[in-house]
Structure 1
Amino acid sequence: MSENVGEHVPFECPSCSPDLETVHEVLTTGGGNATVKCTDCGHVHKEAIESESSVSVDVVVSQDGESFTGTAEFDPEETIYEGDEFVVETDELIAQVRVTSIEAGPEDRTTRAEATEVDTLWTREVGNVSVGVTVNPKEGSDEGSRSLEVHVPGDYEFEVGETEEFGEEAFTVTGIHVRENAIDSYKFPKLGDEGDVVFAKDVKRVYGDDESSGAWSAW
């Protein structure tokens, strides 16, 4: 079991009850021991305590507009940060997720918290993701830009200047907008220099020039 300061827990008291447990107040903890005081006679002594091996935290997973709930186990001394990634299991799926928000109380959202202080982790599935793409028409076309959605692994790389093909769709990447919670990993929130690369899980939107050979479909 694990004790916290101020809790009342059962221990044998070497002064007044060496064979039967009595109620003790936890005064201090540390180093695998607790200093406790017998509430019957006031005797203060140390007792060995066991630390919790893990704590269970509620997790909400967002995937393609749907939400699923599950739990994840963390070390009690671990600090969880916005942007952290881990695997979570729900009734619907097992997913690689990224923390997008940490709820440490009903009205308390933060970017970091000790695992023991977390009420709920809000996350987004990043193992497999949907990426929105705006495709600009070919030169001389009287069509307007169109939007499409592609489904790729989270670690798929979009590179400015490279041509992507998805079925009948093909486009050359001209720009990439990075998600807000991933901006620190890139030089700018909007990338447009040839050779700039962004992982699909970090993409807010891709922009490209049409390279498709067939007629456009309506979106």
Structure 2
Amino acid sequence: MSDIPDRIPTPCPSCSSDLETVHEVLTEGGGHLTVRCSDCGHVHKIQPEREREVSLDVVVSQDGESFTANVTTPAEETLETGDEFLLETEEVLSTVRITSLEIGDERRRESATAEDVETVWTREVDNVSVDVTIHPQDGRREDSRSVTVYVPGDYEFEVGAVEEFGDDEFEIDAFVVRQDAEGYRRDRFEVEGDVGFAKDLKRVYAFDQTSTAWSAW
């Protein structure tokens, strides 16, 4: 009975037909609950109230592409930017993060009840791409280059750590987190030992560590 609590308030036909008393839930079946009154011990059946549900359009973006899915959720549930949930459809099974809530007339909010929402905008966070700006070892920013690495969303990037992806090897100098990332004290981190999850990062800045020096020729 995953959706039913162990105890539930309901009138008792034996000792309290007008007022609710606490009842212990014994069994569930056939759309009914068998409950026992905590005051008098009377056992009877009740039909539990079902939560009203709404259907929502969910737009999922990943690496510049997007697709739309449909989910059903309790009407009174509060949705907020930054919330993550498992999206399960016939086509996809992935964890997504809410980036925006559209409530009509193209208006956006960071928080709203499900029944007020028309479209939930999200991005996939199971597997993500992270943009990395790599500066040459001599620090000349005009010779910097940008690469994109693909990692699991919970992959950790640490300031001061050396990373190797294919032919690229670099030491992380700083990283900037996304607006929808939760639990970070600021937007930019550049102190050695600072750690950020790939799904939370907008960009990583690093210094080249490859053995072959860059050349303008």
> What's the offset of the Cα at 1:117?
1.5
How many Å separate the matches in 2 of 1:60 and 1:142?
Answer: 37
1:157 matched residue in structure 2: 156
TM-score in terms of structure 2 length: 0.71
How do 1:21-100 residues align onto structure 2 when only pairs under 5 Å count?
50-52=49-51, 54-89=53-88, 92-100=91-99
TM-score in terms of structure 1 length: 0.70
> What's the offset of the Cα at 1:159?
0.4
Contact 1:70 1:91 (8 Å CA) reproduced:
no
Task: Pick from 185, 197, 213 the counterpart of residue 211 of structure 2.
Answer: 213
Tell me the SS of whatever aligns to 1:201: helix
Contact 2:135 2:141 (8 Å CA) reproduced:
no
Q: Deviations over 1:87-116 (max 9, x none)?
A: 224565322110000011123211111112
Equivalent pairs, count = 170
How many Å separate the matches in 1 of 2:92 and 2:49?
Answer: 33
Contact 2:156 2:195 (8 Å CA) reproduced:
yes
Contact 1:133 1:149 (8 Å CA) reproduced:
yes
> What's the offset of the Cα at 1:187?
1.9
Taking only the aligned residue pairs, the percentage that are identical comes to: 55
Tell me the SS of whatever aligns to 2:185: coil
Structure 2 counterpart of 1:186, one-letter code: Y
Aligned-residue RMSD, C-alpha: 2.5
CA distance change for structure 1 residues 58 and 216 in 2, over 3 Å: closer, same or farther? farther
> What's the offset of the Cα at 1:176?
0.3
CA distance change for structure 1 residues 136 and 85 in 2, over 3 Å: closer, same or farther? same
> What's the offset of the Cα at 1:200?
0.4
Structure 2 counterpart of 1:193, one-letter code: V
Tell me the SS of whatever aligns to 1:188: coil
How do 1:125-136 residues align onto structure 2 when only pairs under 5 Å count?
125-136=124-135
CA distance change for structure 1 residues 167 and 50 in 2, over 3 Å: closer, same or farther? same
Structure 1 counterpart of 2:120, one-letter code: L
Tell me the SS of whatever aligns to 2:115: helix
- Unpaired stretches in structure 1, ≥5 consecutive residues: 1-47
Contact 1:71 1:88 (8 Å CA) reproduced:
no
2:122 matched residue in structure 1: 123
How many Å separate the matches in 2 of 1:140 and 1:115?
Answer: 50
Tell me the SS of whatever aligns to 2:210: coil
CA distance change for structure 1 residues 54 and 211 in 2, over 3 Å: closer, same or farther? same
Task: Pick from 186, 189, 196 the counterpart of residue 187 of structure 2.
Answer: 189
> What's the offset of the Cα at 1:55?
2.8
Tell me the SS of whatever aligns to 2:79: strand
> What's the offset of the Cα at 1:130?
0.3
CA distance change for structure 1 residues 217 and 58 in 2, over 3 Å: closer, same or farther? farther
Contact 1:171 1:208 (8 Å CA) reproduced:
yes
> What's the offset of the Cα at 1:69?
0.3
Tell me the SS of whatever aligns to 1:193: coil
How many Å separate the matches in 2 of 1:121 and 1:140?
Answer: 42
> What's the offset of the Cα at 1:157?
0.5
Contact 1:178 1:204 (8 Å CA) reproduced:
yes
